[in-house]
């Protein structure tokens, strides 16, 4: 048996979805700014250790690269979540 949904419940759901959408979009923007700064610092580190290429140097380079990619993926996921919440809210 389905729960009877009141108009006020639908309105609250729409408001909540729009709130989540807005916050996800803001977080994605913040991560994009962080990614830019992180990449700049990572490139500086890599230029400083270039030519010394010990095993540890290669490890830190790979760690920084993986972290940068993870931040980028997180920002993309938040953008997708934001768009999905907004789209759903606009449909109900």
CA distance 70 to 92: 33
Percent residues over pLDDT 90 in the chain: 75
Percent residues over pLDDT 70 in the chain: 96
Per residue in 25-62, pLDDT tens? 999 999 999 999 999 999 999 898 887 767 788 899 89
| Confidence (pTM) | 0.81
Architecture of the 7-87 domain: Orthogonal Bundle (1.10)
Q: At CA 53, angle to CA 49 and CA 59, rounded to 5?
A: 90
CA distance 91 to 86: 9
Helix, strand, coil percentages, rounded to 5, for the chain: 85, 0, 15
């Amino acid at each position: 048996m389905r729960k009877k949904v009141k108009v006020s419940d639908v309105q609250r759901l729409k408001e909540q979805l729009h709130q989540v959408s807005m916050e996800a979009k803001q977080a994605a923007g913040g991560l994009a700014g962080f990614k830019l700064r992180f990449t700049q610092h990572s490139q500086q580190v890599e230029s400083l250790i270039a030519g010394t290429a010990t095993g540890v140097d290669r490890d830190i380079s790979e760690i920084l690269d993986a972290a940068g990619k993870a931040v980028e993926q997180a920002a993309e996921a938040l953008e997708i979540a934001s768009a999905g919440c907004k789209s759903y809210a606009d449909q109900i």
